[in-house]
């Protein structure tokens, strides 16, 4: 039985994404049903963590205070519907950095495993981009693609890790994780 943990990407999974990056709390807008989906996971004993590339920091588009404010808004929004995000892990580096934490590299997932003392084998890793799924798969997670955010484009481009499951959105992925069948 995998650890009762779910790893989520942020932009395009929990909130609407932007080609210009989410640079302020005002730009952070939840995808309908995503916050409630997180709450349902919590209510069923799952810890929820976010693993997100935030190269806007490395690019100088926003600073740590702004990132913290965006995450505070997200925490409050999830809390308002009865849920919680247990931890947020992020990579502040740009794509040309030689770091191990930027997805598709597995460094952020390794840090999650170490910090939470968790075995990631079979843990759902939900994302909308190929690099989210690759980082999860390299870490033993079960990759789950949502078609929100960049998900449709990711599906069309193909090359998904073996065993990737696909869902309309986070709410549908959570229905699957919890074994809920729509009548």
Catalytic residue ranges: 9, 11
Beta strands in 54-134 (DSSP E): 87-91, 124-127
How far is it, in rounded angstroms, from Cα 115 to Cα 15? 25
CA torsion 26→35→53→107, rounded to 10°?
150
Are 120 and 137 within 8 A, CB to CB?
no
Q: Between the CA of residue 82 and those of 38, 41, 65, 102, what are the distances in Å? A: 9, 10, 26, 30
């Amino acid at each position: 039985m995998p650890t009762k943990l779910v790893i989520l990407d942020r932009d395009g999974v929990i909130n609407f994404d932007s080609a210009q990056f989410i640079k302020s709390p005002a730009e952070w807008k939840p995808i309908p049903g995503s916050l409630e989906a997180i709450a349902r996971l919590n209510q069923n004993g799952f810890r929820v963590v976010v693993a997100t590339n935030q190269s806007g920091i490395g690019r100088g588009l926003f600073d740590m205070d702004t990132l913290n404010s965006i995450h505070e808004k997200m925490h409050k929004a999830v809390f308002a519907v009865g849920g919680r995000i247990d931890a947020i892990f992020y990579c502040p580096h740009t794509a040309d950095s030689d770091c191990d934490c930027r997805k598709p590299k597995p460094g952020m997932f390794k840090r999650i495993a170490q910090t939470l003392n968790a075995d990631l084998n079979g843990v759902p890793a939900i994302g909308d981009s190929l690099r989210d799924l690759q980082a999860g798969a390299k870490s033993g997670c079960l990759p789950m693609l949502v078609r929100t955010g960049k998900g449709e484009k990711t599906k069309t481009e193909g090359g998904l890790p073996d065993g990737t499951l696909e869902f309309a959105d986070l709410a549908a992925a959570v229905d699957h994780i919890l074994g809920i069948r729509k009548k």
